[in-house]
Structures are given as C-alpha cells and as structure tokens.
Amino acid sequence: MVPLSFYLVLSGILFVCGVLGFLIKRNIITIFMSIELMLNGVNLSFVAFAAQWHSLSGQIFVFFVMVVAAAEAAVGLAIIIAVYRTRETLNVDQVNLLKL
C-alpha cells in the first residue's frame, strides 16, 4: 500500500524540476525538454487520481496529453530548426525577435 500523496509528491517534484529548468536553462532545446518534464509530472498525477477514484477517464486524458505533446514536439522542433537556420544559435538570450 502506497499513500496517494507519495505519487502526488513525486509528480510535484517532476513539475518543479520542469519549471526550474524552464526558468534557468538557456538552451532552447533543454527548455523544450523541461516542458515535456512538466507534462510528465501532470500525467503522473492524472493516473494516480484515476486509480484513486476508480475512473478510467484520467487515463484517457493522459492519452490525449501524450498526443498533444507529440504534435507540440514536432512543431516546436521544426521551429527550433528554423530559428537555428537564421540565427545560428540556440541560446534564448540571443533570440529576441520573432521575425525570421
């Protein structure tokens, strides 16, 4: 038996690590990976609550989050490639214009 709050604490740790990485990392790819980490933390709490309330809707929602994350990764990495092609840098401090 594992208390549900253990899962929520782990989920919180993952989410906080994601937020921290998003704020302090300067590489745009690492920032993107921090967003994926945050999504994973939220997914864990979805599944934990699905087990808690004996409802499968939480797992369905995790499935949709994964689909959206896959689409986001594809589009985001394409944007990163386009940014790198014009700026030749991955440092977000040097990317301060949206214009290509």
Which of positions 30-89 make contact with another protein (CB under 8 A)? 30, 32-34, 36-37, 40, 43-44, 47-48, 50-52, 54, 56-57, 59-60, 62-64, 66-75, 77-82, 84-86, 88-89
Task: Supply the minimum distance, in Å, between the C-beta of residue 53 and another protein.
Answer: 10
Query: Is the dihedral angle over the CA atoms 31, 35, 36, 41 positive or is it negative?
Result: positive
Which residue in this structure is represented by tokens 């549900």?
4
What is the smallest separation between the CB atom of 45 and another protein, expressed in angstroms? 11
**Closest Cα partner for 76 from 9, 31, 37, 38?**
31
Is 7 near another protein (CB under 8 A)?
yes
Structure tokens at 54: 């004996």
